Structure formats: C-alpha cells, structure tokens
Amino acid sequence: MISQLKHARRRGPALAVALIGPDGAGKTTVTRLVAETLPVPSRTIYMGVNLESSTLMLPTTRLILMAKRARGGRPDLTVSAHEDAAAQQRSLGERGARSAKSAVRMTSWVAEEWFRQAVASYAQWRGEVVIFDRHFFCDYYAYDIVRRHGPRPLSARVHGSLLARVYPRPDLVVYLDAPADVLHARKQEGTLEFLEQRRQDYLSLADVFEQFVVIDAARPADVVASEVADVITGHLPPLTDHRRDHEGTTEIGAAT
C-alpha cells in the first residue's frame, strides 16, 4: 500500500501543512522526520527569517546575506526591536535615511516570501504535499498582522497587510507545543516570560485557521513526528495512481 501511495498523485493541488512553534519546539527536526515518514511525495520548505537555515532563496537575498555576514550583521532581513527603538533617537534626516533603508529591506523580504511561496505552489501543483518548517503568516501574526505587542512601524503594518490580505495560507497548521521551561532547557534562548508569550501568540491562531492541531512537543522528536505524520495523512484527499494512463486511472483510496 505504501509503495502504491508513493507513486500516486493528488486530485488537484496537494496539501500545504505548516509546522509552527516557539524556539525549542523541534520544528526543523520534526519536519525532516515527517517528510521521511509520509507515504506520499512531499517537499519541505523553510519559511523562517533565519537565512542561514534556508537553502532556498533568491539570488538577491543570497547577496544580501553575504554582505551582512561580511559586516557581522544578523542573518535576516528583519528589523529588531532594539534597532527600531534606537531609530527614534536619531535626527530627522537620519530617521529618513533609516526609513528608506528599512523600506528596501522589507521589499527584499516580501520578494523572498513570495519566491518561497511560488516554489511551494509549484510543488503542490506537481502533487507533492508541502511541509512548511515555520510559516511567515503564523510567525508574524502577533507582530505585523495584529497589534498584540504594541504599536507597529509603517513597514510592519504594510507587511502585515500583505500577509493578511493576499499571501496564501496553509491548509493545515500543526502547532508543536511544550511548556516554556522545556523550550528554554532545549535551546537556552530567550526568557521564560518571552517563550510563554510566544506560546500564547501561536495558540491564538486557533481562532484564525479552521484546521489547527496542537501536538505535545515535550516528547521525543520521533514520537512527535509520528503523530504529526498521522495527522497529515488523515487530512489527505483521495489519490490516484499515476502509473496508469488517464483512461485507466484507478482510485486507491484515501490515505489514513
């Protein structure tokens, strides 16, 4: 049965699944294990801000990353809260120059987001289940799309509007959840308060997505991945066997 499914294609665009969660939830590891476990063709795409974690990016983004590395900058195109606060202390001319630079950076980042989505859409069109390691809509939701954490600069409001109004959303969101102390023990990054805040940010997405599943990520990665794979398989539509010609196509049933 598994070999049949591996040679099958979906009727219409395939499923797009986003695995999300705070730092320390094991998103990248679980994404890899799920792709190895699924009995259907799949494609994994990193949809996070850390450019060093992605092998898929525009040539222009790759050049920007090289330049930032040379200057010792952060490997992303976002503006940190510290930078935004510091900008408010500069003169009018300095703020204007900073705003222009921020606009260019945001434009480059939006282009990068759409490039990765285009790759995902093509994979779906080919019948591959797309597994997103993180997702831009979900990660930016509490900061750029809604005002959960205070005022937003203009660039963030524009970015949030694009994500909310026109950027494609995943068909299924799987949230990898774990207590803040477990997350902190795994990566030793951020504070317990911040990690708990991010947990609540992600949990609020249950009101945004119709298909939103919470998975206990405090367990070993292989156990978590197995459960995630079962959830994804349960959401797959019927498949057809592409080894037969169109007239002889036979249904082999829904993956369960």
Confidence of residue 70 (pLDDT cuts 50, 70, 90): confident
Lowest mean pLDDT among 101-105, 221-225, 249-253: 249-253
Torsion over CA: 129, 17, 156, 55 (sign) = negative
List the single range of 16-20, 194-198, 235-239 with lowest mean pLDDT: 235-239
Distance in angstroms between the alpha carbons of the first and the last residue of the chain: 11
Pairing outcome for strands 42-46 and 129-133: parallel
Q: 1.10.8.100, 3.40.50.300, 3.30.70.260, 3.10.129.10: which CATH number matches 2-241? A: 3.40.50.300
Rg (alpha carbons) of the chain, rounded to whole number: 20
Reported as a pLDDT band with limits 50, 70 and 90, residue 248 is: very low
pLDDT at 83 over 80: no
**pLDDT computed for residue 60 by the predictor:** 82
Per-domain boundaries in the chain: 2-241
pLDDT of the residue at 147: 83
**Percent of the chain with pLDDT strictly greater than 90:** 57
pLDDT in tens, 43-61: 999 999 887 788 888 888 8
Positive/negative CA dihedral, 227, 122, 162, 92: positive
* Highest averaged pLDDT of the listed ranges 57-71, 113-127, 140-154: 113-127
The predicted structure's pLDDT at residue 77: 65
The burial class, CB within 10 Å (0-12 / 13-18 / 19+), for 129 is buried
In this structure, are residues 244 and 27 in contact, taking their beta carbons and an 8 Å threshold?
Answer: no
Stated as kind and residue range, the H or E segment containing 128 is: none
The answer to pTM > 0.85 is no
